[in-house]
Structure 1
Amino acid sequence: MSIKTLLIDDEQHNLDNLRALLAAYCPQVDVCATARNAETAKSLLYLHHPDLLFLDIQMPGQSGFDLLSSLHNSNVGVIFVTAYDQYAIQALRFAAVDYLLKPVNIDELQAAVERAYRQHRLKEQHQLLQNLVHLVQAGHHQEEQRIALATAKETRFVKTSVIIRCESSNNYTTFYLAGGETLLVCKPIYAYDDLLTDYGFIRCHQSHLVNKKFIKSWKKEFGDFLLLTDGAELPISRGKKEDLKKALRL
């Protein structure tokens, strides 16, 4: 599992150097984008929902601290990378994962990334536990079960009975709800597969998880598809056919 990372520094050669070091020495890091100012970085944060920032402090316009102060309820990890050591105490107030001085030392970089990776795994485990707690607290009636879905702006507690389907796109999952609302969650679909199986959800394709009660028909012309009550058509992969037939008692 990789940790999605955004690099922010006002000097391009620093970005290029850090990206090269991460590629060579930190394989668990996946650099999704780079930014040279706080304004661009903020847009990229909402676009990519990274797990980790490598953040320069002194930049033209808004500083790295200004950027973090403008983020509300952000759960992203931060490793400060700066040429100056007088900001260390202030960095601690932002609960930074680490504080690296330029030029970056490879051993210190690897240690910082490993700490960030461990923290990321703990956050994921906490989210799964939170989901389990809410499912248990909701009672024994499946239609009242709820799941916690963390979007960029909030954590929504959604009844599993109103989730029509889940669709995967790389490390993101879109939840389609009855009524037409959609929620984009920065987690891969497999994180919800086992969690939702007990509540009537089945996998018809590696990219699709569907609530059985919203299946209208199995279409067999021009390939196999599931037609849902909201009009969506989901492909049925060859490897999922037999499991799907068993789940639908066909």
Structure 2
Amino acid sequence: MRTLIVDDERLARNELKRLLEPFHKIEIVGEASNAEEALVLIDDLQPELLFLDIQMPGKNGFELLTSIEGKAPEVIFTTAYDEYAIKAFEFNALDYLLKPIDGERLKDAIARVEENQSAPEETAVANERSEKILGEQDQVFVKDGEKCWFVKLGKIRLFESMGNYVRLHFDDQKPLVLKSLNSLEDRLDPNTYFRANRKHIINLQWIEKIEPWFSGGLLVTLQGGDRIEISRRQAIRFKELMSL
């Protein structure tokens, strides 16, 4: 696998190269000390895998990834800081290695790379599944900490944005999932789920009462008592959607 190492510390790059020597499937085709160098090498060398530091002079590792044109390589982050872990996996990182890099953890990361490469058919099926539009009869798996649910989507009355997470409201449960509200909106059937405002998507089947609200908006009350404002702009779409 054609591999590029991106790290502003020369000693860290040398140590990683030493640790990677036993892994014959990893072919190191280049190294860069900052994002600008890395972007040129990515364009020229077309690596399949990046070992990427996060904190670097100029653009950080996340900014580097958003600057890549076309298909980005697979990524394993290498950093001395653990506070970026959640954000790293928002970028679909294969792994997140803390410095100093442990040999066994690196071995696990390489195994994950090989698994990812050896299962193109499974990946294609997963991608197809992830693009499917979900309706109220679909069931979804939800995990929050140690608790898990397999819930029919029609039971979820409200999706509420909480920063990088979305809170799901069903029955008396309110678990958090690591998704953006925008990405969920793209997958939900628009005939059932409506984007009420910047923070909320409501299940139209759960609306109990609708009232006029300030500045041309609407206030809906859902079964169970949730009261959600529909913004003025979305109220226009809502009336078009719900009218005869």
TM-score, normalised to structure 2's length? Answer: 0.53
Residue in structure 2 matched with residue 209 of structure 1 by the alignment: 201
Residue in structure 1 matched with residue 108 of structure 2 by the alignment: 94
Structure 1: any 5+ residue segments left out of the alignment?
1-17, 53-74, 99-114, 136-141
- Whether the 8 Å contact between 2:208 and 2:221 is mirrored in structure 1 is yes
Q: Write the distance in 1 (CA, Å) between the matches of 2:131 and 2:54.
A: 37
State the aligned residue count: 170
Match of 1:180 among 142, 163, 172: 172
Equivalences for 1:137-156 in 2 at 5 Å? 143-153=136-146, 156=149
Equivalences for 1:73-112 in 2 at 5 Å? 77-82=95-100, 87-88=102-103, 90-95=104-109
- Counterpart of 2:243 in 1: which secondary structure? coil
- Counterpart of 2:56 in 1: which secondary structure? helix
Per-residue CA deviation, residues 115-136 of structure 1 (Å, 9 max, x unaligned), is 9xx99xx9x998664456796x
TM-score, normalised to structure 1's length? Answer: 0.52
Match of 1:24 among 59, 76, 81: 59
Q: Write the distance in 1 (CA, Å) between the matches of 2:157 and 2:98.
A: 41
From the superposition, tell whether residues 125 and 150 of structure 1 become closer, same or farther in structure 2 (CA, over 3 Å): farther
Q: Verify: 1:189 aligned to 2:226, yes or no.
A: no
Q: Write the distance in 2 (CA, Å) between the matches of 1:241 and 1:197.
A: 18
Structure 2: any 5+ residue segments left out of the alignment?
1-52, 67-78
Bigger radius of gyration among the two: 2
Cα-Cα RMSD? 4.3
Match of 1:218 among 210, 215, 221: 210
Q: Write the distance in 2 (CA, Å) between the matches of 1:126 and 1:23.
A: 38
Match of 1:51 among 59, 77, 88: 88
Residue in structure 2 matched with residue 170 of structure 1 by the alignment: 163
Q: Write the distance in 2 (CA, Å) between the matches of 1:126 and 1:168.
A: 28
Shift of 1:144: 3.0
- Whether the 8 Å contact between 1:202 and 1:247 is mirrored in structure 2 is no
Q: Write the distance in 2 (CA, Å) between the matches of 1:198 and 1:134.
A: 9
Shift of 1:91: 2.3
